[in-house]
Amino acid sequence: MARRATAATVMEWTARIVLAGVFLYAGGVKALDPAGFATAIDHYRILPYPAAAACADYLPWLELICGLGVFWRRIRPGAVAVLFGLDLVFSAAIASAWVRGLDISCGCFGADEAGRFPLVLSLARSVSLALLCAWLLWREKRRQPWPHEIPGR
C-alpha cells in the first residue's frame, strides 16, 4: 500500500515537472518575442489582429506564472486549472486550423515547422497536456478534506 502511494507521488511529481517544464519553456520563448507570437495567433484567423496582439502580450506571462505556480502548494490547484483551460483553448484552436486546412505552424514554442502533419502532432501534444492537467486536478481533489479540516492539525 505504502509502495503504491509512493509510486503515485513520484508519478504526480513527474507529471508536475513535465507540465511546468513545457509551459515555462513555451512561455519564456514567447515572452521574448511577443511580435512573433502575435503573428502566429493571427495565422489562425480566429481573432482580429488587435486581439491577437493583446493575447501575445498576455498569454506568455500567464503560462510562466502558472508554470511556476505548479510548484507552490498554496496555489497549485488554481495554476493547474488555468493550464488545463489554456490547453483546452489551444487544442480547440489547433483542431479548427487543421479542419479548415490552414497551412500554418502551431506557434506553441515560437517558430515551429508549418504544415498539416506538424499541426496534428501539436494537437496530440496539447490534448496530452490537457489530460495530464485533468489527472493532476483529480489527484488534488482526492486530497479532500483540506489540511485545516483534519482534526488535530
Partner 1 sequence: MTLGSAMNAQADYFSRVIRQAGGLVLLALVPAVFTAGFHPRRPAWSQDEIRVPEVTWSAAQRWRGWVLPVDARSSAAFASQHLPGALPLNEAQWEEQLPAVINAWRPGARVLVYCASQGCETSQSVARRLQREMGIGDVFVLKGGWSAWLDAQPQRR
145 binds partner 1 (CB under 8 A): yes
Of residues 102 and 120, the one with the C-beta less far from partner 1: 102
136 binds partner 1 (CB under 8 A): no
Among 20, 24, 26, 69, binds partner 1 (CB under 8 A): 69
The one-character DSSP state at 146 is P
Closest separation between CB of residue 122 and partner 1, Å? 13
19 binds partner 1 (CB under 8 A): no
How far is 81 from 133, CA to CA, in rounded Å? 7
- Which residue is it, cell 483553448? 89
66 binds partner 1 (CB under 8 A): yes
62 binds partner 1 (CB under 8 A): yes
How far is 150 from 2, CA to CA, in rounded Å? 21
How far is 129 from 91, CA to CA, in rounded Å? 10
